[in-house]
Amino acid sequence: MLNTLLEIAKLYPSHSQFLDDWQRQFVQDQLQRLEKWGDDILLSDKQADALDKALTAMRKAGAGGEQA
């Protein structure tokens, strides 16, 4: 899950517009937690699922013609 969050951190600045408002706020919150806790961050299964969905949305949008 840490790898997912790290990949989101790389894509987020240029792909955040492809997320809905809730996803954007959730991802921002998790990135702040990552900054605070680093490798020791803990995520529930539900949080991990939400991050997977956000990452998928950013990847699909990036593959749809926008350069990552």
Q: 53: Cβ–Cβ under 8 A, 6 or more apart, which residues? A: 23
Q: Hey, what are 34's tokens?
A: 């990552």
Sequence spans of domains, the chain:
2-62
The pLDDT score that the predictor gives to residue 16 is 95
Give the 3-state secondary structure of residue 40. helix
Q: Assess contact for 4 and 52: CB atoms under 8 A.
A: yes
pLDDT by residue, tens only, the chain of 68 residues: 889 999 999 999 999 999 999 999 999 999 999 999 999 999 999 999 999 999 999 999 877 654 43
**Whole-number pLDDT of residue 67:** 45
